[in-house]
Chains A and B, each alone.
Chain A
Amino acid sequence: MAKAPALPTGFELPLEPRIPRIGSVDQVAVEERAATLARRSIKREAKLFALDLAVRMIDLTTLEGQDTPGKIAALASKAIRPDPSDPGIPSVAALCVYPNLVPAALDKVKGSSVKVASVATAFPSGQSPTHIKVAEVRDVVEMGADEVDMVIDRGAFLSGRYAKVYDEIVQVKEASGKAHLKVILEVGELGTYDNVRRASLLAMAAGADFIKTSTGKLPAAATLPVTLVMLEAIRDVYQETGRKVGMKPAGGIRQAKQAVQYLVQLYETLGAEWLTPDLYRIGASTLLNDVLMQIRKEKTGSYQSPDYFTID
């Protein structure tokens, strides 16, 4: 137990290169930089490129108490063929659902490229005993989920018990086996960019394949500055160890324009290598239709009524 000290390490490196810093984040400056990047003007082919990429990166999400196999079926066909009238539109990256809906989701996306991601570890609060969380992860992986979206224990993190947070992620990673592990920091509860940076490094050190901003269950979800802070942490890990960790902003991204801003930020922070669904996802439920609408606008030159895009 308790392998992680207050200083998140775990980069499997000798002491010297990792000792210098977790580093800190300057709030004013990081918000300014995010705002500058958001003002890039992306037009025509460049915009189409981004919108197409955004579709391929979407984790189409439904996480409601009222989810049923019927709802999942509708969402799955949307995920596979987002716009039946335009065969040029690619499938989205994944369907993101609660554990109980994993079998239904797997059944519906069979034969397509769409992956099934399941939230787990007492989502969204994470306030359950570790062994229950780990058992839940084992279950969803056994059911066949391709990806696991876990939440960190914010209670432990905010009370300074970093080792507990770290340890839990290590155990969940182990239980995930071949499934990809996305670690949700729930930035809206962390309070400061410094905490977001710390939690990002902690999650990556413990073995996260992706780090993710939010559960989508809080009003404060993904923002451009908070995502930039996480991208910079990813960049530092890559620089130091050569390991590529993915990023998933989730919650609050509803418009195509925002998606383009997120992609600009990604491109100008981590470069072209990260412009792939293997390393970047956008967690969203309502974004897809706006992106489809914008793609149709770019291709035909005029906006279509929202009635031409299915609500699923």
Chain B
Amino acid sequence: MTDLERRQDRSPVPSGWDYAPAPEARDIVALEERYGLYIGGDLVEPRSGQYFPTLDPSREEPLAEVAQAGKEDVDLAVRAARDAFENGWSDISPAERAKYLFRIARILQERSREFAVLESLNGGKPIRESRDVDLPLSAAHFFYYAGWADKLEYAFPNRRPKPIGVAGQIIPWNFPLLMLAWKVAPALAAGNTVVLKPAETTPLSALLFADVLRQAELPPGVVNIITGDGRTGAELVKNEGVDKIAFTGSTEVGKAIQRELAGTGKKLTLELGGKAANIIFDDAALDQAVEGIVNGIYFNQGHVCCAGSRLLVQESIYEPVIEKLKQRLRTLRVGDPLDKNTDVGAINSREQLDKIKELVASGEEEGAEIYQPPCRLPEKGYWFVPTVFTNVAQSYRIAQEEIFGPVLSVLTFRTPDEAVEKANNTPYGLSAGVWTEKGSRILSIAQRLRAGVIWANTYNRFDPTSPFGGYKESGFGREGGLHGLEPYLGFDDSETGGG
């Protein structure tokens, strides 16, 4: 009978449910102590003789040392790319080129867990995202452009497309492997060779990608990977052997590159910063819109050039939206990037963390109201609590400048016209979001927004078939889709002035 009585005891309501740690095993990644530069199909020691450590930002621990490529190293890499371009790569049959790209795509899929873990280790992003977003999309880009390699003449009928030569590509640290795929895949499909410079803080997945190229038996020199800080990038931009520069990164550096290249005849595409408006109309499906707001700004710790960092809410639903948003923020799990249940990982670098802190401080100073959910952050590493600013005026720095962190600025509007006006009132023009049940309103608002990418009732959704790129200070040129091939091709018609 005591047994039965005991069973009748109702356990008290728990105060919470602590998910046990669920870390992805990191031993799938075997790191070298030190990496050279990938030039002409081999990892070679840098002529500069210099190395620097690259960190795990969630622990502030060094993972490996990588080379700081100097002018001489850049020269070597560009020469290797030129050799490969002239002696084989530009002449092999397009179907052969496609074969290599398909191979790379398949190897990326096969090794996706290894890459996902490395991406989270070196970049600080949650494994959930590197596993479910970065890796599948990277492979998808190679598959997609592999398909175009032998169909270029159909892609651009009557224009006789041909490769342009050596492409210098400089990529950022927010999606290291995905940005590599965005750049390398179309360049190779179009028949060019590549010198790629990964970001200073996240070089490791690019160096592991060199091993994928070896596995795929890509001819030496077709892709060269040089690591280093901004100085290496500047050398690559200046190098006379480069025919085209593709840059993704800050607007400030993008402007400097454009000045440097003026008058040189090198082709240029820039994919720069953003301060996207995410516009919520009062007829939107609220719970899903809140999910979209969260995905828009806290995805990848807000280190996303197209992040929905300015929330424009119709005033009539301001209160429920903010209440729901705050509630949702309290359920975000911030912590170990390798834990499969982590929603928000580590800030990529000390430098970026300082920048976020500075802008957040300016927001408080200017009079915006800050909300941060209660949150236990790890002691070591670079962390920032997901943050919402309300009572933000259009003139505040947090409404104007790109923060590139998990910080949302909320503004309100009363009518669709006002929403469009506020959304467009920025030097940037990369992306925007529209949330409404009305299909006609989606179309009419999208037409009036000056942004390269507009999402309706979703956010931060990418696909290799869809072009991506900005207006105004967010850059020019498109990546992805058919449009993404064009910057890597020359056309006979444009040279003769015909067309």
Within 8 A of B (CB), among A72-130: 80-81, 87, 90-91, 111-113
Chain B residues 301-328 with CB under 8 Å of chain A are 316-317, 320, 323
Select one of B4, B316, B323 contacting A111, CB under 8 A: B4
Interface residue B3 (Cβ < 8 Å from any Cβ of A): yes
| Chain B residues positioned under 8 Å from A277 (CB to CB) | 10
- Do A20 and B317 touch across chains, with their CB atoms under 8 A apart? yes
B294 to chain A, nearest CB (A): 10
Task: List residues 330-366 of chain B with CB under 8 A from any CB of chain A.
Answer: 331, 340-341
> Which residues of the other chain, B, contact A47 by a CB distance below 8 angstroms?
20
Q: Does A311 contact B (CB under 8 A)?
A: no
Tell me if B458 and A29 are in contact (CB < 8 A).
yes
| Contact of A113 with B285 in the complex, beta carbons under 8 Å | no
* Docked-complex contact A20 and B287, CB < 8 angstroms: no
Chain B residue with minimal CB distance to A240? B320
B331 and A268 form a contact (CB under 8 A): yes
Closest residue of A by beta carbon distance from B285? A26
Q: Are B340 and A267 in contact (CB under 8 A)?
A: no
Which B1-18 residues have C-beta < 8 A from chain A? 3-4, 6-8, 10-11, 13-18
- A28 at interface by CB-CB < 8 Å: yes
- With most chain A CB atoms within 10 A of its CB, the pick from B7, B10, B128, B287 is B287
- Return chain A residues, CB-CB under 8 Å to B323: 239
Are the C-beta atoms of A41 and B341 separated by less than 8 Å? yes
- Per-position binary interface string of chain A over residues 224-245, scored 1 when its CB falls under 8 Å from any chain B CB and 0 otherwise: 0000000010000001000000
Asked if B7 and A80 make an inter-chain contact with CB atoms under 8 angstroms apart, the answer reads: yes
Of the residues A33, A41, A46, A113, contact of B8 by C-beta under 8 Å = A113
Contact A113 B7 (CB under 8 A): yes
A29 to B458, CA, bound (A): 7
B13 in contact with A42 (CB, 8 Å) = no
Q: Determine the interface band of chain B, counting residues with CB < 8 A from chain A.
A: 35 or more
- In the assembled complex, the CB of B137 is this many whole angstroms from the nearest CB of chain A, namely 16
User: Is B292 engaged at the interface, CB distance under 8 Å to the other chain?
Assistant: yes
> Are A21's CB and B18's CB within 8 A?
no
Residue in contact with A87 in the complex, picked from B3, B285, B286, CB distance below 8 Å: B3
- CB-based contact A112/B22 at 8 Å: no
B442 CB, nearest partner CB in chain A, Å: 12
Chain B residues closer than 8 Å to A111, beta-carbon distance: 4
* Bound complex: CA A33 to CA B316 (Å): 25
A127 CB, min distance to chain B CBs, angstroms: 32
Chain A residues with CB below 8 A from B11, complex form? 56, 90
- Inter-chain CA distance A102–B3, complex, in Å, is 25
The answer to whether B14 touches A275, judged by C-beta atoms less than 8 angstroms apart, is yes
Q: How far is the CA of A43 from the CA of B340 in the complex (A)?
A: 11
- CB 8 Å contact bits of B258-291 with A (1 = contact, 0 = none): 0000000000000000000000001111111101
Partner of A46, one of B18, B285, B340: B18
The docked-state distance in angstroms from the alpha carbon of A44 to that of B17 is 12
Q: Evaluate contact between B20 and A29: CB separation under 8 angstroms.
A: no
In the complex, which of the residues B18, B22, B317 has the most CB atoms of chain A within 10 Å of its own CB atom?
A: B22
> Which residue of A is nearest B316, CB measured?
A20
With a cutoff of 8 Å between Cβ atoms, the chain A residues found around residue B288 in the complex are 25-26, 29-30, 33
Q: Is A68 an interface residue (CB 8 A)?
A: no
B448-481 contact mask (Cβ, 8 Å, vs A): 1 or 0: 0000000001100000000000000000000000
Q: How far is the CA of A46 from the CA of B4 in the complex (A)?
A: 26
- Which one, B7, B14, B128, B292, contacts A90 given CB within 8 A? B7
Interface size class of A (residues with CB under 8 A): 35 or more
A24 touches B (CB below 8 Å): yes
Contact A275 B341 (CB under 8 A): no
Give CA–CA (A229, B412) in the complex, Å.
27
The verdict on B437 contacting chain A, using a C-beta distance below 8 Å, is yes
The answer to whether the Cβ of A310 comes within 8 Å of any Cβ in the partner chain is no
Q: A21-B286, A29-B457 are in contact. Are A43 and B17 (CB under 8 A)?
A: no
Beta-carbon nearest neighbor of A31 in chain B: B288
Residues in A with CB closer than 8 Å to B292 are 29
With an 8 A cutoff between CB atoms, is A12 at the interface?
no
Q: Which residues of B contact A43 (CB under 8 A)?
A: 19-22
Select A28's contact among B132, B320, B458, beta carbons within 8 Å.
Answer: B458
Task: Report the separation of the CA atoms of residues A47 and B291 in the bound assembly, to the nearest whole angstrom.
Answer: 26
For residue B314, give the distance in angstroms from its CB to the closest CB of chain A: 11
A90 and B316 CA atoms in complex are apart in Å by 48
Point out the residues of chain A lying under 8 angstroms from B128, CB to CB: 39
In the complex, A23 Cα to B287 Cα: how many Å? Answer: 9
Which chain B residues lie closer than 8 Å to A29 at the CB level? 285, 288, 291-292, 457-458
Q: How far apart are B252's CB and chain A's nearest CB, in angstroms?
A: 35
A-side contacts of B317, CB under 8 Å: 20-21
Q: Which chain B residues lie closer than 8 Å to A42 at the CB level?
A: 19-20, 22
Inter-chain CA distance A20–B318, complex, in Å, is 12
A21 CB contacts on chain B under 8 angstroms: 282, 286, 317
Instruction: Report the separation of the CA atoms of residues A98 and B381 in the bound assembly, to the nearest whole angstrom.
Output: 59
| A272/B20 in contact, CB under 8 A | no
Structural contact, A40 and B287, CB atoms closer than 8 A = no
Considering the chains assembled together, what is the distance between the CA atoms of A21 and B280 in angstroms? 15
Q: Is A45 interfacial (CB-CB < 8 Å)?
A: yes
Q: Which residues of A contact B7 (CB under 8 A)?
A: 80-81, 90-91, 112-113
Given the complex of chains A and B, what is the CA–CA distance between A56 and B10 in angstroms? 9
A24 partner residues in chain B, CB cutoff 8 A: 283-285, 437
Q: Are B13 and A40 in contact (CB under 8 A)?
A: no
Q: How far is the CB of B158 from chain A (nearest CB, A)?
A: 39
- Mask, A278-297, CB within 8 Å of B = 1, is 00000000000000000000
- Cα-based distance from A4 to B323 in the complex (angstroms): 28
CA distance A43 to B22 in the complex (A): 7
Q: How distant is B113 from chain A, measured CB to nearest CB, in Å? A: 14
Q: Does A303 contact B (CB under 8 A)?
A: no
**Which residue of the partner chain, among A25, A112, A275, contacts B13 with CB atoms under 8 Å?**
A275
Q: Is A50 an interface residue (CB 8 A)?
A: yes
Q: Are A272 and B13 in contact (CB under 8 A)?
A: yes
Looking across the interface, which residue of chain B has its beta carbon closest to that of A50? Answer: B17
Known contacts: A43-B20, A273-B13. The answer to whether A30 contacts B287 by CB under 8 A is yes
7 contacts between A and B (CB under 8 A): A20-B316, A25-B288, A33-B291, A42-B22, A56-B11, A268-B331, A277-B10
Besides the known contacts A23-B286, A24-B285, A30-B285, 14 further A-B residue pairs in the complex with CB atoms under 8 A apart: A24-B283, A24-B437, A26-B289, A29-B292, A39-B128, A39-B340, A40-B341, A43-B21, A49-B17, A80-B7, A239-B323, A267-B17, A268-B331, A272-B14
B residues touching A (Cβ–Cβ < 8 Å)? 3-4, 6-8, 10-11, 13-22, 128, 132, 282-289, 291-292, 316-317, 320, 323, 331, 340-341, 437, 457-458
CB-based closest 3 A-B pairs: A29-B288, A41-B22, A26-B285
